Structure 1
Amino acid sequence: MTLTKAIKLAGLGVALATLTAADTPALSPQEIVDAAPASAWKDIPPEDMVVIRFKDGTSSVLQLAPEFAPVHVANIKTLVKTGWLNSAALIRVQDNYVTQWGYPDAEEAPLPAGVIKTPPAEYEHTPSKNFKPLKYKDSFAAKVGHVASWPVATDGQSQWLTHCYGMIGVARDVAPDTGSGSQLYTVIGQAPRALDRNVTLVGRVIAGMENLSARPRGTEDLGFYKTPPEGGRFTSVTLASDLPEAERPKFQVMDTDSATFADWVKARANRSGTFFVKSAGAIDICNATAPIRKVP
């Protein structure tokens, strides 16, 4: 074989390899999640999961964020452990905004011992060294990204959790009231990011979101119920760690420091395949919340 022919064949091989790579469709976000190795997932601690069961037989599972709101989360755990929340109910469902729960028959039942009625405002925090920024711009903050799987924003001086779909906040009256945690809400519509740094966020819904978002809308001001529907009343509220091992929900969240998560974010920002005509080339923090799955 002549040198010229060898060079031509080598060039053809490179061209074919390039063509093959170009023709290989990029993995979709769901395909990346499905193929994620076990090392890309982290178990959610049972002591940070709350199971709410409703009178209509449905249930929802919440994950608390003690790293971001330790005082409020301690209050919530006390309310759960003492059984105080067992008589609560869904009291407000405002379309494209929030579902809220608390005591429906009184402004507020007496709080159990150990609950701080007026805790400090846990709206902002010292920036974490573990903050992993997204490269895309945000309308509400200088930078957004993740800390230990939670969606956060920062201005460089402080950081805060963001009001994304499914995030859980502490209902409160006008400032300086901060809310004790006896009434909570979850976002069921477009992310109301203007609430960031104005309300304490304490966690997120990780299962049974449809049992909070698909309820009948309230007919009173701000979506409050005049009389809460029976199906939305609670039968029990329990920490997963207090349930028998066989009854505990077991969930994992994708490690936002993993290469798999970086691939997932890239795929979410650059959607491809037969459906997408144009790729956005960008992603909002609330469209980049860490995937959650049941433990296989």
Structure 2
Amino acid sequence: MRFSMALAAASVLMLSGPAGAQEAAPVAAASVPVSDWRAVPAENLLVIDTNKGRVLVELAPEVAPGHVERMRLLAGRGFFDGLVWHRVIDQFMAQTGDPLGTGEGQSPYPDLKAEFTFRRDGQTPFTAVAAPAGAVLGFLHSLPVQTQPDAFMATTADKKVHAWGLYCPGVAGMARDEAPDSANSQFFLMRQPYPSLDKRYTIFGRVVSGLDVVRALKASPNPDGIVTGPDRMTRVRVASDLPVAERPTVQVLDTNSPRFRALSDAARQAKGADFSVCDIDLPVQVTGAPAA
């Protein structure tokens, strides 16, 4: 089955603070200055319409170019239309992309080489928010990332350092078999944080709108997560493949903006020693066409 079943039984490692800890106040989109918004390019916006509502995923080609290209290809050919969310586990993730609806199917295209990590240089659009010993936490656009410090770039032949996405809520990953290079068409969206997946499953993007829809998908009460009477995707397209009149427009708080710096500082102060990059929720505003 695509996606190790051992993970279904593993305990979920929640990254929230202890009971009663102060929470950072959410930021209302209306309070964000116009100059602090960043538009998500249409070619990097995956529009997933489901029977429960619309989910918008910002793709991250800097992180996993091969997997992003596969998602664009399959979406453009209508491969995902009508497929079910066959494996959904509460407090974990929702999985789909199998034409058989059993966890055993895949697309007719070859399996993909794993992209668990990527190389980052000074030109990579990365914003740091914390620097624990020997590491840096931050964002690449909307994706939470951990990386080696910039100072290490001077010691490497390519002047780059290792980096990887973090499995926070909404992060989009590729399912696979036990073999690292076996991802194909099945993917999953995180309903909650699950750090034990970091650097083990390729991340290709993050939900920027519709996490409530992901969490509303019918979940299985069984340990294997296989759903009886599952929800389904009705249409999946990259926004750039849609007619202009049907494209949603998405703007996310720019992580280079002063407003983001204030937001991240507030989250760190509220959580204290329990702070995680997953605690930062980026304000988003969506305009344009409604769900199909």
Normalised to the residue count of structure 2, the TM-score between the two structures is: 0.77
Given residue 92 of structure 2, which amino acid in structure 1 is its aligned partner?
Y
8 Å Cα contact 1:148/1:256 also seen in 2: yes
Contact 1:89 1:228 in 2 (8 A): no
Deviation of 1:151 after TM superposition, in Å, equals 1.3
- Residue equivalent to 1:98: 93
Q: Which residue of 1 aligns with 2:286?
A: 294
Give the alignment of 1:56-75 within 5 angstroms: 56=51, 58-75=53-70
Structure 1 residue 36 displacement after superposition: 2.1
- The residue aligned with 2:244 is 245
Deviation at 1:262, TM superposition (A): 0.5
Change (3 A) 1:165 1:109: closer
Q: 2:105 aligns with which of 98, 108, 111?
A: 108
- Which residue of structure 1 aligns with residue 152 of structure 2? none
Instruction: State the 1:109 CA deviation.
Output: 4.9
Structure 1 residue 96, shift from structure 2 partner: 0.7
Q: 2:111 aligns with which of 114, 118, 132?
A: 118
Contact 2:113 2:180 in 1 (8 A): no
Supply the distance in 1 between the matched residues of 2:163 and 2:62 (Cα, whole angstroms): 12
Structure 2 residues not aligned, in runs of 5+: 1-23, 150-160
Compared CA separation, residues 214 and 135, structure 1 to 2 (3 A): same
Q: Among 184, 202, 213, which residue is 1:200 paired with?
A: 202
Residue 183 (structure 1) aligns with: 186
Q: Partners of 2:65 and 2:44 in 1: how far apart?
A: 11
- Using the alignment, how far apart are the partners of 1:292 and 1:265 within structure 2? 15
> 1:71, 1:119 within 8 Å by CA — same for their partners in 2?
yes
Identity %: 31
The aligned counterpart of 1:145 is 138
Aligned to 1:49: 45
Counterpart for residue 263 of structure 2: 264
Q: Secondary structure at the match of 2:167?
A: coil
Change (3 A) 1:147 1:58: closer
**Secondary structure of 1:61's aligned partner:** strand
CA distance in 2, matches of 1:80, 1:214: 22
| Secondary structure, counterpart of 1:30 in structure 2 | coil
Aligned residues: 250
What amino acid does structure 2 have at the position aligned with 1:127?
Answer: R
Unaligned runs of 5+ in 1: 1-26, 272-278
Distance 2:265 2:30 in 1: 16
| Letter of the structure 1 residue corresponding to residue 174 of structure 2 | V
Q: Tell me by how many angstroms 1:90 deviates.
A: 0.5
Measure, in 2, the Cα distance between the counterparts of 1:218 and 1:201.
24
Is the 1:29–1:268 Cα contact (8 Å) retained in structure 2? no
- Residue identity matched to 2:173: G
Match of 1:3 in 2: none
TM-score where L is the length of structure 1: 0.76
